Amino acid sequence: MSTGILARLAALLLSWAPLLSAQTAAIAGRVHVIGDTAAWLADVEITLEPGGHATRSDSSGGFRLSGLAAGEHVLRLRRLGVEPAMQRVMLAAGQSLQLTVALQPTAERMATITVSGQQVTYPARFADPYKRLARGTGRYFTRERIDSLGVLQVLDVLALVPGARVTDRGVEFARCRELSNDQKVQVWVDGNRWTKYNFTRTGDGSDESQNPTSSRHHAVEGGNGNNIDAATVLKDITVASIQLMEVYVGPSKIPGEYLDDACAVILIWTK
């Protein structure tokens, strides 16, 4: 090909360049937290489909995508700590579209743990109970397992625990019958002990009255004085309110912070 022909082709391409540039579109904008237009979000991953164009927002929440084809596109935005979002946009040839996008913060920080080969996601306030579940030192009933059982009462769940016996009076544990009367079945709800036994034996042999741990409790009718035993507490708790229940059937299994004077412990964590 002669030098003259190459020169003419180059000149033709240069003459077309402004026209080709004018036919592409662009999107520019800023990203902020929903409800706070001053809280600009940096490092938001922004992609456009189709075409595979991608960028990230800068320190002031700004971004720009250029060289885009005309037509309908889907703009996707992702960042740790906010809910993913998408927005459909229609671009005309040569258009420069200006956008302001608001993203919703994630409602609650979540933690993740692997239990029996499965990944479980849970609210961070349940971190300690789910760590104990992973160690497997007690009997555990997650929300999902309770739902699968189709039970109506907490006592129906406890009836599935080896070493537990559910009667008309409540729940009994075989290990508790082997120990002294000073050790009781204790029930804790969301980290607070709800059972209350009128007297406990102290180290010097005297009787010490125990104070109630919750104003919701009432005395058991009959000959128990001001006792609030496990059966009374469990009747006040609905199955639907439970997120996780831990059951420890003997002192050797009970976590140290809940041992105290217990021969068995039921830990209930509500939604």
**CA nearest neighbour of 51 among 25, 30, 29, 31:** 25
Q: According to the model, what pLDDT value does residue 222 have?
A: 32
Predicted local distance difference test score (pLDDT) of residue 112: 56
At 182, give phi and psi (nearest 5°): -75, -15
Which residue ranges of the chain lie beneath pLDDT 50? 16-17, 19-21, 199-224
pLDDT confidence of residue 131: 85
Q: Which residue has the tokens 């406890």?
A: 158
pLDDT score recorded for residue 6:
56
* pTM, entire model: 0.49
Task: Write a three-state SS string for 52-87.
Answer: CEEEECCCCCEEEEEEECCEEEEEEEECCCECCEEE
Classify the phi-psi angles of 117: left when phi > 0, otherwise alpha if psi is within -120 to 50, otherwise beta. left
Rounded alpha-carbon distances, angstroms, from residue 34 to 29, 30, 72, 164: 15, 12, 25, 51
| pLDDT given at position 13 | 52
